Structure 1
């Protein structure tokens, strides 16, 4: 079955569920992003059948689905391992989060059994009231691993002795959860600084966005990301004249469009990518683009003729992607101070010297 047929099949399957789940899915943009994944689709079904609702955000869907998934497996499967059986639901979530974080930091999507058992051993020792002898802790970790494999299709043995989370997005979600729940460094500020330092690697982008959505307040993280972006682009000297021109141009278009949206649009044109951030920042730009505005077409044509070297385009692409992390972090943040959000949006795609004056306060 090809990809298009699979999507049609899944929409058909959803439409047979009670309370018109198909309609609810189609009107929920966040959920549309995950319906192509069988495991996440199963979680969507579990959540809907228990609550008759679809959580409004991806993080809330993951959280609700994970709790239901763990609870149902506890009731339907025989758990022979006493250590895992005695763990609370929060401890089981904590174990999966800790494993996700440790393996993510180590750069491992596929983890050897010995390494995985070491992660589990450290977690068991962390939550144990009494001291556990190393030999006994290792045996416990082996039993716990067998229980996880038997119960949860979230985590499985891909080849003999090699384990991985079944879905990358769940690996990312649980790693971000480990940050928020405190399974990383001693202080969360230390963890957030570590996370932002890793954003030079694209594999950390989703962790940054998910962490912003899960934090009680995302101000500190998003300001750190903004400062990371400013430092990154300030070091790219060959692009400074363009960015200064772009700053001046964005404020001289007679209030036709939001300046930050206009700057985003110009960069999107140069990179010849979908006008995603710009359209989200300004509905009028989105409307004019859909209407094939002559003004926007002329701007796009002129910008696409500009001579940027391949290396400059690569830098612009990374700059755009880092800014996307900041933008999506703002859009998904559960709690963000309004004045900080407004300043972060206004200073998107500005040269560092024109950019945010926000200070980081832990």
Structure 2
């Protein structure tokens, strides 16, 4: 591979980064290169690049020639660009015919080419992580809608929610791509919730607007508005010009000419981050300075970013838009970019699968900042289910404190109470909302103002509830407007988190007892129960309360107690008397009609999910009871009985098909023939199992059933009689084959009972501090009748 000359600007940037990041130490750079590209090191070589090559390159006074392969390595580690050619594209701007601006381009690249937030170990390239997103043309909090309109259809949202939102109050607004809005509106005010990606968006524009992707010969100028008050600046115009004059001598007149010609794209980031002084003079000054800058140089492009509701000032000629939440496509694109950038591309599919399986966690992913937290968390745990409380706590802590602190932003507010008091207030609002009948996830503004006032008057006499609510919305993004003067928590997950905090803070025995008894089977409290279990310093008493209340659901139902007795009897007699097998038999019974009539209307998926999860729990603790011959025999006969019932039903339907529908009748016949073959195979297997347990009488009976099995063209009556005879044989020889019809009340109780058992199992399976013996005792005693507890 031939050596190529290094572009002067790239050479200068590489030397500067070599000095800043590695102290011009070749050994430090070599260690980093070896670690980053260890799979590419030749087996005959000690290092990816020889030390003498590195010394020769960086000691050169003029750009040397070197292998492009080595330049790719240098650019990835030192400039965080995917290749040397990408670095040239990003940082070498001679194609604009503006060679005198080269120092400015270098400055802009250092300022905007990377991002680093929160607990990231090192910055990442904006271009490698950025995701094109959508904006809302109509500001969400300004919609004129009622609570009833917003709640319409809320209870019927499918579990597979493509929007990832469990509070589906938005989605009907006009969405347009953010880059399209930039092209359409020369003066744009971009609003967004905390962590919505406003700064990242401006940095992306700063790095790409001049490259031809969006528009030629435009000079991006990125200004953090919070930084300009660190020292006297005179005017915002001076700040803009100073971006150039600090790096290019005698350039003021040329910069002014660019501004007058409208060749600049001025990106003003973080209007909400300008620190307010005592009389808000800084705030009013910045409004005035922005107006002056725009009026003095009106032909340029402008974007201002600000948190939603953080400013009431109206900038004339600016179009206001709002950053939309991430949808599924953006979430997937971001995570793929993220893990590829971190060298863990294969982890992305696992991340997305785990995210999809957890409704409460995945809705946080609609916010880029919170999605970043989830990615960082997943790198450590590779799971979200171990301790969801810790994930939510980190997200809340980030919004309340860490996000601003990590960027050294200090916001002066009249809401100066401790973080814990803020959490107490949010917790009271959240709990009372879920406890309301019906549960409340939306509040009128006046309702929140009353709750804030009631809480704050116990802390201070100086209360301005309206100002406090505005500060909560703009500073933290935990409570947001879903429509004009109608609020909700930004995510239902946050309401559940704060409600759990309320329960834990009020965890006296009587309160917990009432809480469990009242809410155990109410689905809106499901996540709260899990979080409370994870939050308590010891969850033993809470789990005992739950177990007691679970069994109280069916305690007074003779029909369900009889069913539980049957479950215990059939599994014990088969040598598999465990909760896992009881759950399995109950799940299949709803389909095979052994004990409970399968004609009852009940959500069967829950029963199957519970059986699977309890088996997985037992696998993890190595307490799995393998199937025994008798249990396998019962399973085969139950399946045969169910197939026979199906044949009876098919025959009934087939008898109604007229000759004009003969083709359809032929299809039905094929289905019947397939079922007949299945029955024959299962009967052979059942006979073998009966012989294995040495039950001669049952073996002879099954052989007779084999001989008398109706054909696929037999009548419904023949199949029904054969099915009933088989049931009676199962009852006589195996003591199974009962059948009852549960009334509506018992059906509801049965569903609630399994739902509550499943919830209890989820709480036990999470990361909680509780006695191992207690956890195992509870699981072992699930689905037992009252007289066995």
Q: Please say whether Structure 1 and Structure 2 have the same fold, judged by a TM-score greater than 0.5.
A: yes
Q: Tell me if structure 2 keeps the 8 A contact 1:81–1:143.
A: no
Q: Tell me if structure 2 keeps the 8 A contact 1:25–1:31.
A: no
Q: Tell me if structure 1 keeps the 8 A contact 2:497–2:531.
A: yes
Q: Tell me if structure 2 keeps the 8 A contact 1:112–1:162.
A: yes
Residue of structure 1 equivalent to 2:778:
344
How far does residue 104 in structure 1 lie from its aligned partner after superposition? 1.9
Distance 1:338 1:262 in 2: 21
Matches within 5 A, 1:52-67: 53-54=380-381, 56-67=386-397
Q: 1:288 to 1:191 in 2, by over 3 A?
A: same
Question: Deviation string for 1:122-156 (max 9, x for gaps)?
Answer: 33234x2xx52xxx43x2x2211101111233320
Residue of structure 1 equivalent to 2:362:
35
Q: For 2:614, which of 278, 293, 304 is the aligned residue?
A: 278
Q: 1:28 to 1:267 in 2, by over 3 A?
A: farther
Q: Structure 1 residue 301 and structure 2 residue 639: aligned?
A: yes
Distance 2:613 2:432 in 1: 32
Distance 1:165 1:22 in 2: 34
Residue of structure 1 equivalent to 2:713:
none
Q: For 1:81, which of 405, 413, 426 is the aligned residue?
A: 413
How far does residue 245 in structure 1 lie from its aligned partner after superposition? 0.9
Q: 1:347 to 1:189 in 2, by over 3 A?
A: same
Per the normalisation by structure 1, the TM-score is 0.79
Q: 1:23 to 1:295 in 2, by over 3 A?
A: farther
Q: Structure 1 residue 90 and structure 2 residue 420: aligned?
A: yes
Q: Tell me if structure 2 keeps the 8 A contact 1:278–1:285.
A: no
Q: Tell me if structure 2 keeps the 8 A contact 1:44–1:61.
A: no
Q: 1:321 to 1:148 in 2, by over 3 A?
A: same
Q: Tell me if structure 2 keeps the 8 A contact 1:96–1:174.
A: yes
For structure 2, the residue ranges without an aligned partner over 5 or more in a row are 1-133, 135-160, 163-327, 591-602, 646-738
Distance 1:5 1:286 in 2: 40
Distance 1:22 1:152 in 2: 34
Q: Structure 1 residue 213 and structure 2 residue 534: aligned?
A: yes
Distance 2:374 2:512 in 1: 30
Q: Structure 1 residue 45 and structure 2 residue 372: aligned?
A: yes
Higher relative contact order (CA 8 A, sep 6+): 1
Residue of structure 2 equivalent to 1:239:
560
How many residue pairs get aligned? The number is 336
Q: Tell me if structure 1 keeps the 8 A contact 2:521–2:755.
A: no
**Structure 1 stretch 346-355 or stretch 7-16: which is displaced more?**
7-16
Residue of structure 2 equivalent to 1:170:
494
**Structure 1 stretch 41-50 or stretch 117-126: which is displaced more?**
41-50
Question: Deviation string for 1:150-185 (max 9, x for gaps)?
Answer: 1233320111221111221221111102222x1x4x
Please give the secondary structure, in 1, of the residue aligned with 2:553. helix
Q: Tell me if structure 2 keeps the 8 A contact 1:81–1:147.
A: yes
Please give the secondary structure, in 1, of the residue aligned with 2:481. strand
How far does residue 27 in structure 1 lie from its aligned partner after superposition? 6.5
Distance 1:338 1:285 in 2: 14
How far does residue 349 in structure 1 lie from its aligned partner after superposition? 0.9
Distance 1:144 1:79 in 2: 13
How far does residue 204 in structure 1 lie from its aligned partner after superposition? 1.8
Comparing both structures, which one devotes a greater share of its residues to helix? 1
Distance 1:25 1:60 in 2: 23
Residue of structure 2 equivalent to 1:319:
753
Alpha-carbon RMSD: 3.6
Q: Tell me if structure 2 keeps the 8 A contact 1:226–1:344.
A: yes
Q: 1:301 to 1:288 in 2, by over 3 A?
A: farther
Q: Tell me if structure 1 keeps the 8 A contact 2:539–2:768.
A: yes
How far does residue 348 in structure 1 lie from its aligned partner after superposition? 0.5
How far does residue 308 in structure 1 lie from its aligned partner after superposition? 4.0
Residue of structure 1 equivalent to 2:679:
none
Which entry has the higher C-alpha Rg, 1 or 2?
Answer: 2
Distance 2:333 2:501 in 1: 32
Q: Tell me if structure 2 keeps the 8 A contact 1:266–1:303.
A: no
Q: Tell me if structure 2 keeps the 8 A contact 1:195–1:204.
A: no
Residue of structure 2 equivalent to 1:262:
581
Residue of structure 2 equivalent to 1:26:
350
